[in-house]
Structure 1
Amino acid sequence: MDQFIRDGTAVAVKVLSLQSRQGAREFLSELITISDISHENLVKLYGCCVEGSHKILVYNYLENNSLAQTLLGSQQHSSIQFNWSTRVNICIGVAQGLAYLHDGVRPHVVHRDIKASNILLDQDLTPKISDFGLAKLLPSDVSHISTRVAGTLGYLAPEYAIRGQVTRKSDVYSFGVLLIEIVSGRCNTDTKLPYEDQILLEKTWAYYDQGQLDEIIDSSLGDDLDVDEACRFLKVGLLCTKNVTKRRPDMSMVTRMLKGEEDVESHEITKPDVIRDFRDLKLRSKATSSSLLTSIVARSSPSSSSSTGNTTRTSITFTAISDRP
């Protein structure tokens, strides 16, 4: 909701419902993480209020809502014209904000929930990354942290969704999905479409593999469309969603690629890994757990196993995964 503070400044108030999955720990995480961070492409936090189970965050007011409500929502509710130059600025802005979180602050910040509804737009359509409730701090000497999985299906990096290992490259995957959404003008997941067209990332790869990548570009774009640049952005999106985590570019490189300062063609593009739905996630999680258990049991010495009489077990817990963009 929109409000004003005493000096007349317009602010946005985020009220967490009593049914919200975001508990006190996540709320405080969001507050602590962003309170001292300042960047053109990150929301500014003015303050907070906690009373019992009621939690409120006060952000700077952003006039044009989110990408999910405007670009990817029903266009009849938005008067914004997302021409190509506007989309380029949004893509680069989000990339710069994410690169700052990953490399510009210590400890590094992994957002964990990069998606269209968390990209807000100000009056000049400058993008701002918002909602740090799931953010994790990553010390410089740590490659990844293991945590309960949270986020939005469709944007979740498979290795994070399945094994609970979060790295900065998890955000890179989510950004890759978002990037393709912005260029194509549609959500990554649309169950109203025929099965083979439901997942945008899969469709984008299919067009790339057929040498027809320009077919996925938003057909509503006008005369300022640069097809070659749009295809380059789509290729960057595919690079960000590579199956092998370490082969994804970091966000600093992604930013250079989008600006044309880094050659995209010299990087190999491979088929992205995609989790289609909760059923797919559940099946793959069980398979991974079974594989881990087999590996652990195989490494356990017979003597130690027989002496304790116990079998080593492993499990992966999933919490707060949403299917909403």
Structure 2
Amino acid sequence: MFAYHITSRGSPAQLTNIPLPDPGQDQIQLRIYACSLNFADLLMIKGTYQDTPEPPFTLGLEVAGEILSVGKNVRQFAPGERVAVYAGQGGLAEAGNFEARRAVRLPDHVDYKTAAAFPIAYGTSHVALEHRARMQAGETLLVLGAAGGVGLTAVEIGKLMGARVIACARGAEKLEFARKAGADHLIDIEAEDLREQIIALGRADVVYDPVGGAAFQAAFRACKPEARLLPIGFASGEVPQVPANHLMVKNLSVLGVNWGGYMRFAPEVLTGSLETLLGWIAEGRLKPHISHVLPLDRAAEGLELLRTRQATGKVVIVPEGAG
């Protein structure tokens, strides 16, 4: 089979014809119909991603396809079923073997490209808001970096969960993306009075923050008592420091979110979340945005679109002949 493969540390990723072994006893073997690209793939090529496997390995974290065969211990899936898998690696190929515990069935009306495009971004926001923050309908959700890849999903999911959403992003154009995603109120994240604007809108019950830095500090000071703050990432380059005495005085909670980490100690959290999200997608309540669809032999072009930030949505790789 052809795969976008790294043979040794520091070597470039190349389209390579490699053998496909039988699935392990706890694995499913998948004919891959779609795989989406992530910045983590770029970091894996450089060897700087925290979960980079030891070479040789195939890139590709999010994948969807049809089961060809199953290992002897797999009882929950059968050949012919359609699934999405948070693979971690191995998705940029014509086929692959993946742990069955990482897979979820696809509803009939969800296509492969959509299934490969949603798990990490939408899954991160759903687990953060539902599992970690236990957000309730009617609460106020503040989303920092609301026009970014995960920020927009937080706006969408927050609205579906019944929250009143305040979106913070840089500039009118990006704020318009957040408005179209369902935000109730818009604030320019570079405003000098960011804290005051949040307070004027009634403060926040939940803060979703992929930005860090000064924006986190402003949001932290504009929370309601018993608010929950969710550090998702640090796009600003500055990891905020939290004064514990302020947490105590206002009964605040800071809840770390490492979405992929659940696969190591509680995979049911991820698969349960993904099943909920797939249901919403099948109902038309969520629609992941795909900006580029490319064949496997143009995977390098797709990764360049990510590296140069030219993609406005997910970049999905589709092996030749895949539907």
TM-score range, shorter chain: under 0.3
Give TM-score, length-normalised by structure 1: 0.24
Give TM-score, length-normalised by structure 2: 0.24
| Greater fraction strand | 2
